[in-house]
Amino acid sequence: NLKTIVRGVGHYLPEQIVTNDDLAQRVDTSDEWITQRTGIKQRHVAAENEYTSDLATKAALRAIEAAGLTPNDIDLIVLATTTPDRTFPAAATTVQRNLGIHHGAAFDIQAVCSGFVFAVATADSHLKNGLGKRALVIGAETFSRLLDWEDRTTCVLFGDGAGAMVLEAVPADQEDDRGVLSSSLRSDGDHWEKLYVDGGPSTTGTVGFVRMQGREVFRHAVGMISDVVEEAFEKADKTVEELDWFVPHQANRRIIDGAGKKLRIPSEKVVVTVDKHANTSAASVPMALSVAVEDGRIKKGDLVMIEAMGGGFTWAASLIRW
Ligand code: ACO
């Protein structure tokens, strides 16, 4: 009888920072508009020769180091991304190669902004079923490559980055009640046109750009997030009062605040990085986790809820005893 515990986390942000004022020189927008509607002040953007697998590898090395391990201790890599280096192979296999790992398995997961939470749930069940001992779970994106930089309604919202987590299978009766306690995953393809990319290998043969009905996304977000968070609490037989940290997908300050309010989570318990990172899709949750571990907020034994919602729609939450 196995469970999975978190051994370490890490993140990497590309060097180049683009501020709202920088964007205001390219499209008809302003720092005031972007800040008021989204809480975003700046975003990091990958260099031209920097790929998703590069960001992922750097985040992975930091997580492996934080775990006190070496790359060869890893036998499963699950990488959540919407912006793989190439249509195939999976970026996870490139990360595996970069890390010099030749055993075990590596594959990508595509659930857009919810990808990291889907990846945690997937790695958790793989490890519990004996399909490996230690998994590297990564969320990595170069979302800037999917942006129409002339469309002010989308280009101001997103950024690039990567975050990683090492999960390890241990006997269920060890390590107190630490571990991934529950996950709740949902999707509904009827909503696809509200948030999608207008290209792809099978439709246009191009990469395409992000297209979004912002108001429609906003309208559904808080309700969907609350549903999966409540379900994850219920499955683990825990309550919101027991929660130490709420680490939401960082799409937009107003969605984060709306979900926190609906779920009655005090704002001091909510980790926010959207001001500095913007929306980095699958990378946002692991980067926020890593920031909060690094600055000493999230500590061993804390009860942490992660959640996300994104294109598809997909939406998901996981409750973790850190
Ligand atoms: N700068 C200045 N003006 C802008 C900008 C901009 N960057 N973008 C849009 N506008 C204008 C619009 O053209 C519109 O002008 P009009 O009234 O003259 O037509 C006006 O601002 C209002 O536009 P709305 O789209 O109605 O603005 P809204 O208040 O809905 O805010 C926003 C837009 C921020 C996108 C909001 O809908 C939102 O947060 N939606 C959620 C979307 C989201 O977070 N997506 C991320 C991906 S999904 C995920 O990760 C969950």
Nearest to 62 by CA among 11, 116, 119: 11
Q: Report the pLDDT value the prediction gives residue 199, as an integer from 0 to 100.
A: 97
Alpha carbons within 13 A on the beta-carbon side of 134? 19
For residue 279 and ligand 1, the question of a CB distance below 6 A is answered with yes
The ipTM estimated for the assembled molecules is 0.94
In the residue annotation, 279 being an active-site residue is answered as: yes
Q: Report the pLDDT value the prediction gives residue 167, as an integer from 0 to 100.
A: 98
In the residue annotation, 126 being an active-site residue is answered as: no
For residue 156 and ligand 1, the question of a CB distance below 6 A is answered with yes
CATH class of 2-171: alpha beta
Measured in Å, residue 111 CA sits from the centre of ligand 1 at: 23
Q: Report the pLDDT value the prediction gives residue 172, as an integer from 0 to 100.
A: 97
Measured in Å, residue 153 CA sits from the centre of ligand 1 at: 5
Measured in Å, residue 29 CA sits from the centre of ligand 1 at: 11
Whether 2-171 and 179-321 share one fold: the answer is yes
For residue 151 and ligand 1, the question of a CB distance below 6 A is answered with no
- Record the pTM: 0.97
For residue 310 and ligand 1, the question of a CB distance below 6 A is answered with yes
Nearest to 55 by CA among 140, 120, 117: 140
Residue nearest atom 8 of ligand 1, based on CA coordinates: 153
Domain ranges for the chain: 2-171, 179-321
Residue written as token pair 């390219």:
26
pLDDT digits (tens, 9 = 90+) for 28-83: 999 999 999 999 999 999 999 999 999 999 999 999 999 999 999 999 999 999 99
Q: Report the pLDDT value the prediction gives residue 106, as an integer from 0 to 100.
A: 98
Question: What is the atom index within ligand 1 of the atom nearest the CA of 215?
Answer: 37
> Could you give the residue ranges of the DSSP H alpha helices within 167-321?
214-236, 253-262, 274-277, 284-294
Residue nearest atom 29 of ligand 1, based on CA coordinates: 37
Residue nearest atom 10 of ligand 1, based on CA coordinates: 153
Report which residue type is found at 116.
F
Q: Report the pLDDT value the prediction gives residue 91, as an integer from 0 to 100.
A: 98
Residue written as token pair 């034994």:
301
Active-site pick, 11, 44, 113, 252: 113
CA dist., res. 167 & res. 118, Å (int) = 14
H or E stretch covering 20 = helix 20-24
What CATH superfamily is the domain 179-321? Thiolase/Chalcone synthase (3.40.47.10)
For residue 221 and ligand 1, the question of a CB distance below 6 A is answered with yes
Segments in the chain below pLDDT 50? none
